[in-house]
Structure 1
Amino acid sequence: MAAFMHSAPCWVDVQLPDLEAGKRFYGELFGWTFRAGEDVERGGHCVDALSGGKLVAALAAKQDGRMPTAWGIYFATDDIAATVARIRQAGGQVITEPVRVGSAGVLAQAADPGGAVFGLWQAGDRSGFHKQNEPGSFCWTEVYTRQKDRVDAFYEQVFGFRGTDLGAAGRGGSGRGEPGTGGSGTTEAGTDAPGPAGSGTGEPRTGKPRTSKPGTGESETPESETPGSGPVESGIGGSGADVPGVDFRMWSPAGTEPGPDTAIGGRSVITDAFPAEMPSYFLTYFAVADCDAAAETGIHLGGRVSVAPFDIPYGRMAVLHDNQGAEFAVLQPPVSR
């Protein structure tokens, strides 16, 4: 069975108060279709999302109102027990101990030393999503934190990530708006991870195409965004100029040459300019064919745009909230010339 490279992002899901409303929103926004997840046997609280017939994500109805309405990211592991042990050794917190999801695989959830929540997935019959870096599917993730030194060391120790710091070189450009209030997306065990329904294999992943990487550091503030309203409010915009204070690290899997061509995610910093109660969190990006159209559609469907579409070196992006408050980003890769 083809599998994801160890430590590569392999799955995304979202916890929502109203599952049917979520299906309507994402079905129209991304053209997703849906099928019942394995959890249907316990009341139909989870659905798989498909793009062009390929598995891309899951939507789950929150079973506890205290849980955040948010997207969650999962990283592949070939030994979930060993990874959980490393999380504890590196100063992280295990939220959900490894639990088997039928024959699909095994999941766990944890938080890094800064509090950002993420999931682990050890594949059984299901490796994760079957499509990425194409319109309607996952294309990038990055964590926002205040404790960059502890968090960098944590991910290097747990996953073997190798970092590339871009701020000092004046490269990149990802602009961000205000973070969501729900953090990074805690999920219930067995309800919406890569194994809730079906089976199948994904393609091997060794890094994402450079054309679909939002990359790094910051970009000029969109006109619709007030400086100071998000973790990053100014930056390089792909100009190549050095910008003091920009701090972004790209992560490449162990065994690869670190850099943009192998990066699978990134780390940015929430500064002291923002309220202390603002949580650390992961932001999930989805590829789209038309960023501006996606933003307009999101508003039409009852969502909102927190960062209006703007250009970065890796395409054109925007940050949205769905009609129930879950935050995510969309990225339109640049047109080849």
Structure 2
Amino acid sequence: MSAQHTAIPSGSPIWIDYSAGDFATQQAFYSALFGWTFQDQGEDYGHYTMVRAGDAVIGGAMDGELSAQFSGGPVQPAAWTVYLKTEDIARTLGLVAEHGGQVIVEAMPVGELGSMALAMTPGGEAVGFWQPGEFSGHDLPLTPGTSVWFEVMSKDFAADAEFYRAVCGWDVVPMGPDGQQDDAAPDEDGMPAYATDHTGEQATAGLCDAAAWLPEAVPSHWRVYFQTTDMDASVKVVEEKGGRIVDGPMDSPFGVVASVVDPAGATFQLNQPPARG
């Protein structure tokens, strides 16, 4: 998982946010696990909450029950959403429609901060888009409690690969099981196809062929990796605070990883990077 650049390139993750019911319980879970603080932005922004890890602004969060009150609909399942940077959100949404996607939420301004939209890809996962105004996106210091990688778990790798190429400018560079670029991937050992958006240190996101991994009832989805310096301690907090470890911890070329379901049912990844030495 390579270091992220301060200037986030177009087509790369620029923001993440979280929505769930029983919001106080979820805040307590993430505060205990990562030390996050939550800052309500007030009525003008629908009580959207900025999430901080120390001084870093790492994402946003919304009370799912409050969102349902605003919309008049049901409380949506808890989830993390990844937003990709666009320089022209209207053009991006036009490309979404041209390349097999569906616009779920049309482009809408968020004050002077920028504009956001939501879409569904041909592979079936929701993805957001953000065109920066005064707000340039999340901080990516690659420190404990902050996001360090983003990837699509796709049930239709080929369709999603073409979508992200056409809509977001991805190169879709194959990666082998050792974490290195491999033009022959997927390999003969049965590893799922995996690709990054760009080559080497320019990579900011991944695309995984998860068709054989995901249960029938689980759709394609984006997932976020958050850094921990002590996987054992993090696993203990997850379990004590009502979450579950559903896969791992296990070794990978990028350190120890584990898949987590939080108390509301949203999924994310923990990553303890390799020891330096």
Same fold (TM over 0.5): yes
Counterparts of 1:26 and 1:171, CA distance in 2: 31
What is the match of residue 142 of structure 2?
Answer: 133
The residue matched to 1:11 in structure 2 has which SS?
strand
Q: Which has the higher strand share?
A: 2
Deviation by residue 1:20-74 (Cα, 9 ceiling, x = unmatched): 1121111111011121125x34763x21111112211112111233522111101
Pairs within 5 Å for 1:246-285 = 246-252=192-198, 258-259=199-200, 261-271=201-211, 275-285=215-225
Counterparts of 2:134 and 2:98, CA distance in 1: 30
Counterparts of 1:270 and 1:33, CA distance in 2: 33
Residue identity in the other structure for 2:24: E
Counterparts of 1:56 and 1:126, CA distance in 2: 13
Percent of aligned positions that are identical: 31
The residue matched to 1:162 in structure 2 has which SS?
coil
Pairs within 5 Å for 1:129-278 = 129-167=138-176, 170-172=177-179, 243-252=189-198, 258-259=199-200, 261-271=201-211, 275-278=215-218
Structure 2 CA distance for partners of 1:251 and 1:3, relative to 1, 3 Å:
closer
The residue matched to 1:22 in structure 2 has which SS?
helix
Structure 2 CA distance for partners of 1:103 and 1:274, relative to 1, 3 Å:
closer
Counterparts of 1:267 and 1:273, CA distance in 2: 14
Deviation by residue 1:174-219 (Cα, 9 ceiling, x = unmatched): xxxxxxxxxxxxxxxxxxxxxxxxxxxxxxxxxxxx9xxxx99xxx
Structure 1-normalised TM-score? 0.72
What is the match of residue 232 of structure 1?
Answer: none
1:273 Cα deviation after fit:
7.1
Residue identity in the other structure for 1:56: I
Q: Which has the higher contact order (CA 8 A, sep 6+)?
A: 1
Q: How many residues align?
A: 262
The residue matched to 2:276 in structure 1 has which SS?
coil
Residue identity in the other structure for 2:204: I
1:270 Cα deviation after fit:
2.8
Counterparts of 1:86 and 1:73, CA distance in 2: 18
The residue matched to 1:294 in structure 2 has which SS?
helix
1:18 Cα deviation after fit:
1.6
Question: Contact (CA 8 Å) 1:50, 1:56: kept in 2 or not?
Answer: yes
What is the match of residue 104 of structure 2?
Answer: 95
Over the residues paired in the alignment, what is the CA RMSD in angstroms?
A: 2.3
What is the match of residue 62 of structure 2?
Answer: 60
Counterparts of 1:243 and 1:132, CA distance in 2: 35
Structure 2 CA distance for partners of 1:81 and 1:273, relative to 1, 3 Å:
closer
Counterparts of 2:50 and 2:173, CA distance in 1: 34
What is the match of residue 11 of structure 1?
Answer: 15
Residue identity in the other structure for 2:113: A
Counterparts of 1:121 and 1:83, CA distance in 2: 10
Counterparts of 1:122 and 1:143, CA distance in 2: 21
What is the match of residue 196 of structure 1?
Answer: none
Counterparts of 1:54 and 1:23, CA distance in 2: 17
1:4 Cα deviation after fit:
2.1
Counterparts of 1:43 and 1:78, CA distance in 2: 25
Structure 2 CA distance for partners of 1:334 and 1:275, relative to 1, 3 Å:
closer
